[in-house]
């Protein structure tokens, strides 16, 4: 058993401060491939199993009253993977939503997507857009899938839009403020993540929400995404609740 399990006591939702639940949690869901490999399974089995974790953690977030859950599902760099793996990954939204959409609707979850739609296969995009449409009026947890998302591309696109405003004479370069950039990001209108979780022991951001994570609390675990349980999620939130967020102040 990995060290992680032996050192931490069980954390349950009862031990959490219900007054201090992060409003926005972002997760880099990593380690599907290594989880599969460690069991002698193909990488795809890891991705498939990771889908069950998506369901588990979405429901856990919903029960805790988290307002936004952003899940990094596919990066703008993940196209570099072998074609068969990319194709498999592109089928998962469809499969996930065909099984889970009704329950998401029942739980008042609003599905969103953050990423570049143009490069997605039609079947992937249709599944996601159907879920977005059918949940658009829901007022509970916002489940935001980062799909074909890359933070540098997001910032370049934002700068380009600002450039057009300047070119049109609607904005002076001197007037550019944080809000101009923030309003052109794919997260416009959303609060920045309070808590970032990355599974699988990697300690990097991999081009995820570079602007938005400026003051987020970060929590890393060695646990691979397919085995990331509700208990680990609660442990991350409990650790978050012990942190002092100073934002540069005292
Ligand atoms: C995360 O698991 C899922 C995606 C990036 C799509 P990985 O596929 O990156 O798994 P590892 O990191 O190879 O174990
Ligand atoms: C980040 O994981 C992207 C997602 C979880 C979707 P990667 O597995 O692609 O990141 P690197 O390559 O290890 O940095
Ligand atoms: Mg990985």
The predicted structure's pLDDT at residue 6: 44
CA nearest 95: which of 133, 44, 57, 135?
Answer: 44
Mean pLDDT, range 48-76, rounded to an integer: 98
What's the 93 CA to ligand 1 centre distance in angstroms? 15
The predicted structure's pLDDT at residue 11: 75
Mean pLDDT, range 90-111, rounded to an integer: 98
Ligand nearest to the CA of 43: 1
Residues at CB less than 6 angstroms from ligand 2 = 28-30, 72-75, 78, 202, 204, 206
Confidence of residue 9 (pLDDT cuts 50, 70, 90): low
Ligand nearest to the CA of 202: 2
The predicted structure's pLDDT at residue 1: 43
Confidence of residue 51 (pLDDT cuts 50, 70, 90): very high
Res. 94: pLDDT tops 80: yes
Query: Measuring from atom 12 of ligand 1, which residue has the nearest CA?
Result: 31
The predicted structure's pLDDT at residue 3: 46
Confidence of residue 8 (pLDDT cuts 50, 70, 90): low
* pTM strictly above 0.85: yes
What's the 50 CA to ligand 1 centre distance in angstroms? 9
CA nearest 124: which of 65, 185, 79?
Answer: 79
29 C-beta closer than 6 A to ligand 1? yes
Q: What ligand 2 atom has the least distance to the C-alpha of 202?
A: 13
- Which residues partner with 13 through β-bridges? none
Helix or strand holding residue 34 (H, E): helix 32-38
- What pLDDT, in 10s, does the model give residues 196-234? 999 999 999 999 999 999 999 999 999 999 999 999 999
Catalytic choice (78, 138, 183, 207): 78
212 within 8 A of 149, measured Cβ to Cβ: no
- Homologous superfamily assigned to 2-6+21-150+192-242: Decaprenyl diphosphate synthase-like (3.40.1180.10)
Mean pLDDT, range 169-181, rounded to an integer: 98
Q: What ligand 2 atom has the least distance to the C-alpha of 149?
A: 6
Query: Measuring from atom 2 of ligand 2, which residue has the nearest CA?
Result: 30
121 within 8 A of 90, measured Cβ to Cβ: yes
Please name the residue that has the structure tokens 């460690």: 38
- pLDDT cut 90: percent of the chain above it: 94
Q: What ligand 2 atom has the least distance to the C-alpha of 204?
A: 14
Ligand nearest to the CA of 32: 1
Average pLDDT value over all residues in the chain: 96
Catalytic choice (17, 20, 30, 222): 30
Query: Measuring from atom 3 of ligand 1, which residue has the nearest CA?
Result: 30
12 within 8 A of 231, measured Cβ to Cβ: yes
Which of 46, 71, 75 is the best mutation target for the ligand 2 pocket, counting ligand atoms within 8 Å of the beta carbon and taking the most?
A: 75
- What pLDDT, in 10s, does the model give residues 143-156? 999 999 999 999 99
The predicted structure's pLDDT at residue 182: 98
Q: Does the active-site annotation cover 30?
A: yes
| Nearest-10 crossing angle of helices 122-135, 83-106 | 20
Query: Measuring from atom 14 of ligand 2, which residue has the nearest CA?
Result: 206
């Amino acid at each position: 058993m990995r060290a992680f399990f032996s050192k931490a006591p069980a954390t349950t939702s009862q031990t959490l401060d219900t007054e201090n639940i992060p409003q926005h949690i972002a997760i880099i869901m990593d380690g599907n491939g290594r989880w599969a490999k460690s069991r002698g399974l193909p990488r795809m089995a890891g991705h498939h199993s990771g889908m069950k974790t998506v369901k588990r953690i979405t429901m856990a977030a919903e029960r805790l009253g988290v307002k936004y859950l952003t899940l990094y599902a596919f990066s703008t760099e993940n196209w570099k993977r072998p074609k068969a793996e990319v194709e498999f990954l592109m089928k998962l939204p469809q499969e996930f939503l065909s099984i889970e959409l009704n329950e998401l609707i029942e739980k008042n979850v609003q599905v969103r997507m953050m990423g570049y739609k143009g490069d997605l296969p039609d079947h992937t995009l249709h599944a996601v857009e159907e879920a977005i449409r059918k949940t658009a009026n829901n007022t509970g947890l916002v489940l935001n899938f980062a799909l074909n998302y890359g933070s540098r591309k997001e910032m370049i696109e934002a700068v380009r839009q600002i450039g057009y405003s300047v070119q049109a004479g609607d904005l002076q370069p001197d007037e550019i403020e944080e809000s101009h950039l923030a309003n052109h990001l794919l997260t416009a209108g959303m609060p920045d993540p309070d808590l970032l979780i990355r599974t699988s022991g990697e300690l990097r951001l991999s081009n995820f929400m570079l602007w938005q994570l400026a003051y987020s609390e970060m929590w890393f675990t060695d646990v691979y995404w397919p085995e990331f349980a509700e208990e680990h999620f609660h442990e991350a939130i409990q650790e978050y609740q012990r942190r002092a967020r100073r934002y540069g102040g005292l």
